[in-house]
Amino acid sequence: MINLSNILKETVGYEFDQFIRGENLFEEICCVLESPARIGKINMDVLDDTSKNHEYSLKAKQHGKLVGKYNGYEIYQFTPLNTSGDLHDVFIHNDLTYIYFNYTTDKNLVWEKKIWQSHLNIGLFREIMFGYYLKKFKGVVSDTLHSPSGEKYWGKLLKQAKENGYKISVLEGETNKFPVEDPDDIGEYFTSKNYRFVIEQE
């Protein structure tokens, strides 16, 4: 008799183990990229499937380091062997993943790379950004080109940041940063890979 549970464990477990060893198969199972050019390469359904999400979460707890908690979520962190500087945080509650966040840090800033959030908790990552990451770090920097969902996410994030007293700005290239007074005026910057958005503490 075919045991579907065992097949699932072997498949998800193998892909995760390959990723931990520094291979790229993990990108197929657990991330939402903000770059439109790469969205088509992602199997978005994997973590939305409760069974696969559960198996992935167990692997994340097995391989990751428990680095903290946030409002009932355990935060497990790991770094692939061949990806210098990359951090991967997984927010788990009751052995299910609700947030996956891939980022780097530099000069006490978080540089976003990939985000996945459970459809059951819309807005959760925005809450975590202000309630967790912006309390640990000076600020956060976006990816460059954004998907439609990435545009909505950053539009809401910038508006909330402005309301909460944070400085918001646009980073052109690596060093040219200029302030943004009105978050509604950022639309033109979504269409170019030369721009990133920055939120910083005053």
Angle (CA) 90-115-189 rounded to 5° is 155
Average pLDDT over residues 144-165: 82
- Rounded distance between C-alpha atoms, residue 125 and residue 9, angstroms: 27
Q: Any idea where the domains of the chain sit in the sequence?
A: 4-200
pLDDT above 80 for 194 = no
Of the two residues 36 and 122, the one the predictor is more confident about is 122
Most confident segment among 5-14, 49-58, 80-89, 189-198? 49-58
Give the CATH fold of the 4-200 domain. Answer: Aminopeptidase (3.40.630)
pTM above 0.85, yes or no: no
First-last CA distance in the chain: 62
Q: Which two tokens stand for residue 128?
A: 């975590």
Those residues with Cβ within 8 angstroms of residue 177's Cβ, 6 or more apart along the chain or in another chain: 169, 170, 171, 198
- Rounded distance between C-alpha atoms, residue 191 and residue 9, angstroms: 40
Q: Which of 90, 85, 127, 120 is nearest to 105 (CA)?
A: 85
